[in-house]
Structure 1
Amino acid sequence: MEIKVGIVHGAREIIVETEETAASVETAFSKAVDDGSVLTLTDDRGRKVLIPASRIAYLELGQEAARRVGFGAL
């Protein structure tokens, strides 16, 4: 699933490809905003992205099962 995170006063958004479900990302986002803590996202390769919840302008969740294109999709 593709997640786009808009940052306050940021010119670009952060894009993360992850295997997490939309429900789990939404729950983590809500908890981070309520606590004023850090939103932690883990991408497909196991890297972690840490974003302070106070700096998040918006969070856009893509489709959970995106169709792959190319020879690797077989």
Structure 2
Amino acid sequence: MEVKIGVQQAAREVVLESAQTQEEVVALVSAAIDKGTPLTLSDEKGKTVVVPGDKIAYAEIGATERGRIGFGNN
């Protein structure tokens, strides 16, 4: 699932593909914001991203459904 995190005072957002469930990511982001602790997420390739919890501007957490292949409008 795709996770986008906006960081205060940063020109670009942090984007990664996480193997965690949507509920797990929401819980981690919420805890980091509430407590002001660093948010640590790992992507599907093993890369780890750490974002200061007190600097998170927003988090966009995508659906767990994988993208479709093809040109149909279903």
- Give the shorter-chain TM-score range: 0.7 to 0.9
> What's the counterpart of residue 24 of structure 1?
24
Alignment gaps of 5+ in structure 1: none
SS of residue matched to 2:45: coil
Q: Distance in 1 between matches of 2:69 and 2:9?
A: 34
> Aligned partners of 1:34, 1:67: CA distance in 2, in Å?
32
Please name the residue that 1:51 is paired with. Answer: 51
Structure 1 vs Structure 2 CA RMSD: 1.5
SS in 2 for 1:31: helix
Partner-residue secondary structure (3-state), 1:3: strand
Tell me the SS of whatever aligns to 2:12. coil
Question: Which stretches in structure 2 are left out of the alignment for 5+ residues?
Answer: none
After TM superposition, the score normalised by the length of structure 1 is 0.85
Q: Give the structure with the larger helix fraction.
A: 1
Q: Which runs of 4+ in 1 moved over 6 A?
A: none
How far apart are the structure 1 equivalents of 2:69 and 2:43?
19
Sequence identity (%):
40
TM-score, length basis structure 2: 0.85
Q: Spell out, residue by residue over 1:23-67, the C-alpha distance to the aligned partner (whole angstroms, 9 max, x if none).
A: 000001111112110001110011110000111100001121212
Return the offset for 1:11: 1.1
Opposite residue 64 of structure 2, the aligned amino acid is E
